[in-house]
């Protein structure tokens, strides 16, 4: 949450982390370690590898090229999104929220976001669709055809397996405030958000220094 007015995009951030991508290709090619294989026999190791492969192919053959075209569209039609000239907005006195998982930070974050006079924060739309052209269209839908936007939200939730139980625990709305680590998870395949598309704990344990509680939380995810 930053003090100021929101008028920017992060349209350039659409390529996955090289290390994270290498881990996924390695898992598809080699699978897990012997111990992990034994633990995952009941879940279907082959099915998980195919699922990860499908996500990799979709990312590099569809998501990345489309994102590049959307980024180019932003540069042509919305070049003013750069923080320069008369459109510049000064952001200062940032509020950074750090916490263990499931400690109520989302509720605290959203409570701060209600104070629109002093704070600005990314919403799910900024994080999941970091492109001015897409945001303009969806915000027009929100103002003029809210039911259509709701239909789009429901479709995206089904695509990402966000069940009613998950939505009740962590309500997801395109225009609702949300944590910026979602951008890191969806676009860079790092942070907690990436576990959804790559649920193989051994690779996270290899790269991150996790205490016992954090490691258990990862395994529960």
Buried b (16+ CB within 10 A) or exposed e, 59-88: beeebeeebeebbeebeeebeebeeeeeee
* β partners of residue 123: 177
Residue-by-residue pLDDT tens, the chain, 221 positions: 333 334 333 334 567 778 888 889 999 988 766 545 555 554 577 888 898 999 999 988 998 889 889 988 988 888 776 655 555 567 778 888 877 767 788 888 889 888 888 888 888 888 888 898 999 999 999 999 999 999 999 998 888 778 888 788 788 889 888 887 787 778 888 776 787 788 887 877 776 666 655 555 555 55
pLDDT at 53: 93
CB 121 within 8 A of CB 109: yes
Total-model pTM = 0.72
Of 209, 152, 188, 214, the residue nearest 67 (C-alpha): 188
pLDDT at 44: 74
pLDDT at 182: 80
Q: Give the per-residue SS3 of 114-164.
A: CCCCCCECCEHHHHHCCCHHHHHHHHHHHHHCHHHHHHHHHHHHHHCCCCH
SS3 83: coil
Q: Burial level of 161, CB count in 10 A (0-12/13-18/19+)?
A: exposed
Contacts of 5 (CB under 8 A, 6+ apart): 89, 120
């Amino acid at each position: 949450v930053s003090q100021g007015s929101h008028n920017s995009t992060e349209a350039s951030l659409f390529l996955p982390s090289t290390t994270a991508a290498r881990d996924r290709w390695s898992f598809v090619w080699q699978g897990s370690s012997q111990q992990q294989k034994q633990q995952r026999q009941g879940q279907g190791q082959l099915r998980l590898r195919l699922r990860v492969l499908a996500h990799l192919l979709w990312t590099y053959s569809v998501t990345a090229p489309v994102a590049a075209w959307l980024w180019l569209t932003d540069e042509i039609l919305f070049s003013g999104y750069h923080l320069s000239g008369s459109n510049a907005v000064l952001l200062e006195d940032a509020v950074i929220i750090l916490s263990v998982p499931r400690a109520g930070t989302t509720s605290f974050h959203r409570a701060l976001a209600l104070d629109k006079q002093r704070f600005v924060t990314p919403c799910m739309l900024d994080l999941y669709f970091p492109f001015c052209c897409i945001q303009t269209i969806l915000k027009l839908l929100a103002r003029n055809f809210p039911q259509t936007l709701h239909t789009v939200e429901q479709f995206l939730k089904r695509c990402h397996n966000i069940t009613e139980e998950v939505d009740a625990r962590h309500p997801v709305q395109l225009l609702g405030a949300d944590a910026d680590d979602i951008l890191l998870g969806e676009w860079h395949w790092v942070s907690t958000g990436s576990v959804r598309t790559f649920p193989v704990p051994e690779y996270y344990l290899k790269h991150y220094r996790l205490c016992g509680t954090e490691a258990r939380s990862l395994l529960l995810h």
